[in-house]
Structure 1
Amino acid sequence: MLDTTELTTAVDRFADRLRVAPQSRLQRGAAAEGLALARELALRAQRLEAPGRPPRTLPDAGVFTVADQLVVACNDLAEILRTAPPTPPLRRELDEAVAAVRRAAATATL
């Protein structure tokens, strides 16, 4: 069982920043950064959960929903990682997801 606290905490922080950002900042790229990250996390979750099935793309539901989409995608990935037997590839998947969150949070102009 992998501890996904670092991942969920980082996403929660980023999502909170997105939720309080003014619309103008969201429209200037912060929402796009959040959506790209949510899509990446959703893709990772789908590849782990159903490796042979083609992944679906998380829709763009607007700048005001990005934070919630990000949290949902993160929670899906975290649950898969928590419930799977811990293996080196899953540990690497978790580490890469955490790194992706940190990069997105650092580059988003909030």
Structure 2
Amino acid sequence: MLDTTPLTDAVDRLSDRLRGAPQSRLQRGVAAEALALARELSVRAQRLEGAGGEGCQELRIMPDLGVFAVADQLAVAAGDLAEALRTAPSAVELDEAVGSVERVAATARL
């Protein structure tokens, strides 16, 4: 079984920082970056679960629920991806997801 702790730990740290960020900082693009990351992680999870392929269900895109919801959206998307990785392990997919989270965390400057 693939250990997804690096992904969930990185997302937990970023989500906590987003929850503590002032509204003005979130509105200056940090929330948009986090939402893009949440959408990316969500799509990765759906693809691992078989969505989006020919004859399969369509990929669902995470909606924009506002700057104050993005931390929770990110946590949910990461949880879904972690579960998908447990059942269809892909170390490459895990490494790419952790890298995406770390890049957003580095540029967010929270």
Fold shared by both chains (TM-score > 0.5): yes
How far apart are the structure 2 equivalents of 1:15 and 1:92? 23
Q: Which runs of 4+ in 1 moved over 3 A?
A: none
Are 1:67 and 2:85 an aligned pair? no
Equivalent residue, structure 2, for 1:25: 25
Matches within 5 A, 1:2-21: 2-21=2-21
SS of alignment partner, residue 62 of structure 2: coil
Q: What displacement does 1:82 show?
A: 1.2
Equivalent residue, structure 1, for 2:40: 40
Matches within 5 A, 1:69-88: 69-84=73-88, 86=89
Gaps of 5+ in 1: none
Q: Is the 8 A contact 1:42 1:74 kept in 2?
A: yes
Q: What displacement does 1:2 show?
A: 0.4
Q: What displacement does 1:26 show?
A: 0.3
Q: TM-score, normalised by structure 1?
A: 0.92
Q: What displacement does 1:50 show?
A: 1.9
SS of alignment partner, residue 37 of structure 1: helix
Cα root mean square deviation, aligned: 1.0
Identity of aligned residues (%): 72
The one-letter code of the counterpart of 1:96 is: E
